Chain A
């Protein structure tokens, strides 16, 4: 009982802490508090590593509004989360649900922790119980009567004397005393007894048939077990992992400041309707790398779109200027040719000028769907220019 006291005390503290931590206290939360609370657990569908509570993306704003409506309609947090999972899938929650496959995410660390703890307990017990056998009274007498002929034997006999002194003083409990006494005595007996005969042919032949079996069986069992677990984990990943769509990060939310990351961030900003922020980011890239074709082309295209929306021809011209710079910086960058062709055809009514741009785009190894789109634009340009549409792709 005395030995179990620390463990019991620890368990009591844990239970108390959990009870206090989970006890609901104070006033019921307001609608706004509940909206924040739920939105914090929901992933922003269009951004990287942000919750719907933190993000001001349109999709997150819509999610917050829906949460608010449902809170006001009297739905519970669980019902609202279930609705969002129903519409977006499980990955909309930042924390996996503690049910179904999501249970694995919660359960594995617990199982791992318990396993590690059990391993430690097992290891400690093994270390403590090295001499597993109990020594006999004859052996005790043998050791007591033996002369401390060697340094080791003298040490063990002195240890036994110290042990008796500690027991008499009440510094050691009976269980530890018995174990340690057996340990020292067994080691002393081993020193007093003649050494075991060297392994001969008989011993070798006796052990030979058994050892190879043990050697391969255990590792093989472990390999099969781990491989099985890995297969199950792999299948679960394949089953549950969502497909990354354009604009979504593969993983993580580390903000980087390299040009390629800035370009990726700019594309996300475009998707979030933050055209001005995207243009600012493109300007940063251009400031570092004035010949970055992607930044020049997309900056020009965004400016052109803004010009179109506001019927501002100056903005359209400004957009074309950037797109021209992109074409000059990297004539092999297909998007710049497409943007230039579009501006010339749709804004400048310069079909003849647009034709070589669309052809340059099609000459690149463009994705099939984009190639189909640009083929259509090329035909429109050819018709507008009074030329026969091409029969084959250039």
Chain B
């Protein structure tokens, strides 16, 4: 470095202030992200978004446990809880009594029903499962349907309205009381609209 270059004035003015402003900005950005994340719904939220919400439900069809062809659209006119399940899935085992209670009430009333869709399971296991744990609703075999519904795991359920429109997606095991609440809300909304 020459003497001339050394003699050149150093632009050191306001360095401390710049650092302070930079730190302030970084702090602001961090605070914003923390705020965004903190206001998100918790991970164990049961009602989850679905791209199918408000759209016609995929018309899933397939043989039931007796080999009879069943199609989802044949249940139009009543609310349908489409339930993806597997016998190897512990939350599915847990939710089964809840589903049975729900079906017992609404099967007789005729306003709502359950349609289960088998998720990667053996037919013999499913038959045994329903024999042991009850549940006389249709159970459809259709492996491709999990993609049609955008299902990520089991159990996952969708409440479909009497017009065949998807209302809600429920991730994880369902509870009878929560289902009743959802159904009541759906009916109320339908009457109001």
Chain A residues, Cβ within 8 Å of B90: 270, 301, 305
For A275, give the chain B residue with the smallest CB separation. Answer: B88
Contact yes or no, B125 A243, CB < 8 A: no
Indicate whether A58 sits within 8 Å of B28 (C-beta atoms), given known contacts A87-B150, A152-B3: no
Q: Out of B98, B120, B128, name the residue touching A373 (CB < 8 Å).
A: B98
Greatest chain B CB density within 10 A among A69, A247, A275 is at: A247
Confirm or deny: B147 has a beta carbon within 8 angstroms of a beta carbon on chain A: yes
Q: Is A384 an interface residue (CB 8 A)?
A: no
Check if A45 sits within 8 Å of B45, measured CB to CB.
no
Identify the interface centre among A92, A151, A242, A309: most chain B CB within 10 Å of its CB: A309
Which of chain A's residues have a CB closer than 8 A to the CB of B17?
A: 215, 219
Given contacts A69-B144, A234-B35, contact A87 B4 (CB under 8 A): no
Residue of B nearest to A64 (CB): B147
**Measured between alpha carbons, how far is A351 from B159 in the docked complex, in Å?**
35
- Report A-chain residues with C-beta under 8 Å of the C-beta of B120: 58, 61-62, 273
Q: Do the beta carbons of A45 and B28 come within 8 Å of each other?
A: no
Chain A residues closer than 8 Å to B87, beta-carbon distance:
309
Beta-carbon contacts under 8 Å, A203-254 to B: 215, 219, 222-223, 226-227, 230-231, 233-235, 237-238, 241-248, 250
Q: Which residue of B is nearest A67, CB measured? A: B147
Give which listed residue, B3, B119, B147, contacts A66 with CB less than 8 A. B147
Query: B153 contacts which of A45, A250, A308 (Cβ < 8 Å)?
Result: A45
CB-CB < 8 A to B98: which residues of A? 373
Please, what's the 1-or-0 string for A37-77, where 1 marks a CB less than 8 Å from any CB in chain B? 00000000110000000000011011101100100000000
B: interface residue count bin: 35 or more
The residue on B at minimum CB distance from A151 is: B3
Q: What distance in Å separates the Cβ of B55 from its nearest Cβ neighbour in chain A?
A: 9
| Interface assignment of B43: CB less than 8 Å from any CB of chain A | yes
Query: Chain B's nearest CB lies how many Å from the CB of A209?
Result: 18
Which chain B residue shows the least CB distance to A229?
B29
- Contacts A45-B153, A88-B51 hold; do A372 and B41 have CB atoms under 8 A apart? no
Interface string of B152-170 (1 = CB under 8 A from A): 1110000000000000000
Asked whether, in the complex, the Cβ of B86 is within 8 Å of the Cβ of A273, the reply is: yes
Counting CB contacts under 8 A, is B36 at the interface?
A: yes
Number of interface residues of A (CB under 8 A): 57
In the assembled complex, how far is the CB of residue B53 from the closest CB belonging to chain A, in whole angstroms?
A: 11
The answer to whether B128 and A152 have CB atoms under 8 Å apart is: no
CA distance A312 to B86 in the complex (A): 20
Q: Please report the C-alpha to C-alpha distance between residue A238 and residue B39 in the assembled complex, in whole angstroms.
A: 9
In the complex with contacts A187-B4, A245-B152, A246-B171, A87-B52 CB distance below 8 A: yes
Do A223 and B25 touch (CB < 8 A)? yes
A237 to B33, Cβ gap below 8 A? Answer: yes
Complex Cα distance, B144 from A84, in Å, reads 12
Binary flags per residue of A319-355, CB closer than 8 Å to B gives 1, else 0: 0000000000000000000000000000000000000
B interface residue numbers (CB < 8 A to A): 2-4, 7, 14, 17-18, 21, 24-25, 28-29, 32-33, 35-36, 39-41, 43-46, 48-49, 51-52, 86-90, 93-94, 97-98, 119-121, 125, 128, 132, 143-144, 146-154, 171-173, 175, 177-178
Give me the 4 closest cross-chain CB pairs, A-B, nearest first.
A58-B120, A87-B150, A45-B152, A244-B43
A: residues with CB less than 8 A from B are: 45-46, 58-59, 61-63, 65-66, 69, 84-89, 92, 151-152, 155-156, 187, 215, 219, 222-223, 226-227, 230-231, 233-235, 237-238, 241-248, 250, 270-271, 273, 275, 301, 305, 308-309, 367, 369, 372-373, 376
